[in-house]
Structure 1
C-alpha cells in the first residue's frame, strides 16, 4: 500500500490527528464538549504513545494520550475505517492505561479515572447516534451504577441523530467532510477555524513531513517483519498449521490496528483471498 502523500493528509489521518490534537488548546475544548465537564488544565500530553509491558506483548500505540490536573487519563483515537470488535480494542487500551498509571504497591483506590474516545468516520453500531457512550450498571438493578472509573465513547461522524451537543456535532460534521474531501463552512466556529489552521500550518512544515514519512516507513517495515517472522516460526515448527496460526494472529493484529484487508494484502504481499481466509479463522 503506497504511503499517502503528506499534502493529502487531513484530520482523519492518524499522524495529522496526533499533531493537531496534542496541542492543549485543541484537545481541551474537544474533551470539554464531549464529556460536558470543565478541565482546568492539561498536565501532560503525548502523541502516538506506545504502551507495552514486555517485548513480545501486543503493543498499543495511542493517537493522543493526556492527563489533567486530577490525574484523569484520556486517550483519543481517530478511526478512518470500520473494523470488528472495537469494544475489545477499547478494553485493551483501558487496561494498558491502567497498568501504566498505578505505581508498584499502590492501593487500587488510587487508580485514576480513564477515558477512551474513538472518533469514527462510519457508524459502528448502525443506530445513527452521533455519540455512543458506554454505561455500566448492575444487572437487574439498573439504578445501581457499576463505577470502576473507566469510560468509553464512540463518536460517529456519519450520524443521522443529533444526540450530542452542538459543538460535538459541528466537529463531527467537519471530520466527515475532511474524510470525504468535501468543503465545509467553518466560518461560524472559532474552534474549527483553529483546527483547520493547525492542519494547514503542519502541512507547510517540512520537518513534520520528514517525521511523517519516517514513521510511515517504520510502521510498514514493522508489519512486514512481523509477518515474515511468523512465517519463519511456522516453518521451524515444520507444520503448515503452525505457519497458518502465526499468520492468523498477525492479520488479526493488523485488522485491530484499523488496516483494511486490501492494505494488509499489499503490505505483506499475500493474495487478498488468502488474507480474507486468514481473517475469518478463529
Structure 2
C-alpha cells in the first residue's frame, strides 16, 4: 500500500519552530550571533553563518545536514557553533550530538591530521521537551573527570540542550526572552522582535516562497528515496525467505540460485 503524501504547512503558517523558517532566520549573523552570546555568555568575533550546511566524514557515505552552522572568523582558528531546532525527541539526541561533533571535527582537520587544528565546538539543540527529565530549562555538558568533576578533559567540546517550554524557569532575562519566543512566538525584547520581524518578512517574500517549494520537493525526493531503500530491503529479505523455503524443501541450490539471484554459498548460509 502506498504511503500518503505528507501535507506541508503553507508558508504563511510557518513559525520559528519549523525547520525551514528556523534555518532562514538564523542564517542571518545579526540574529544568530546575539543569541549565541546570550546563551553561552561568551564574546564572539566576526562569524560566517551557513544555513543547512552539508558535511561528510567519508566520501562513500551520505552527507549530514546541520540546521545552522556558525563559524567564527578569527585568523582561521575560530570556534564553531551548530544550532539545531529539534521538535521531536528521537530518543538518541545525545548520540546524534556526538556524531555531529565527530563529523565537524573531521571536516575541520581535513587532511592535516593535526589535532591542534581542532576548534572549540558548541552543539546546541533547541527542544520543546525535557529529554533528560530533570525539569530544567537548559542542560550544559562538557567532559569531566569522573572522580574529580573540577578537572575538565579540555577537549574543547560543549553540548547544550535547551528545553524552551520551561522558559519561565530561566533567570537570565535575555535567554528567557529567546526561549519564550521559541515556545510561544511572543516577542518581548528587541532581540526577539528582530526574529519576529524576520519571520513576518519571509512569510511575504516571493523568493522565500520559491525556496520553500524547492525545499518541499527536496524532502519528498528524500522520502521517496527512503521508501525505495525500504522496498529494496524488503525484497532482499523476501528473496532470502523464499530461498530458505526452497532449500528446506530439497530443491537444488542451482535452481534456487537461478530463481532468487542468490549465490549457492549465500543460500547455504541461510
Distance 2:171 2:57 in 1: 36
Distance 2:240 2:203 in 1: 49
Higher relative contact order (Cα pairs below 8 Å, separated by 6+ residues)? 1
Distance 1:209 1:41 in 2: 30
1:201 maps to which residue? 201
Where do 5+ consecutive residues of structure 1 fail to align?
179-183, 242-282
> Which moves more between the two structures, 57-66 or 197-206?
57-66
For the pair shown, which has the larger CA radius of gyration, 1 or 2? Answer: 2
- Secondary structure of 1:138's aligned partner: coil
State whether structure 2 residue 72 is matched by structure 1 residue 60.
Answer: no
State whether structure 2 residue 114 is matched by structure 1 residue 101.
Answer: no
1:12 maps to which residue? 17
Q: TM-score, normalised by structure 2?
A: 0.81
Runs of 4+ in 1 over 3 A off after TM superposition: 53-56
State whether structure 2 residue 137 is matched by structure 1 residue 130.
Answer: yes
Residues 128 and 160 in structure 1, CA contact (< 8 A), matched pair in contact too = no
Change over 3 Å in CA distance of 1:135–1:105 after alignment to 2? closer
- The count of aligned residue pairs is 233
Residues 128 and 158 in structure 1, CA contact (< 8 A), matched pair in contact too = no
Cα deviation digits, residues 1-34 of structure 1 (max 9, x gap):
2012111100011111111111111001000011
Where do 5+ consecutive residues of structure 2 fail to align?
1-5, 243-270
The Cα of 1:226 is off from its aligned counterpart by 2.1
Distance 2:45 2:141 in 1: 25
State whether structure 2 residue 54 is matched by structure 1 residue 28.
Answer: no
1:45 maps to which residue? 49
Change over 3 Å in CA distance of 1:240–1:89 after alignment to 2? farther
Residues 147-226 of structure 1: pairs in structure 2 closer than 5 A: 147-159=154-166, 162-163=169-170, 165-178=172-185, 184=186, 186=188, 189-226=189-226
- Secondary structure of 1:144's aligned partner: coil
Q: Over aligned residues, Cα RMSD in angstroms?
A: 1.9
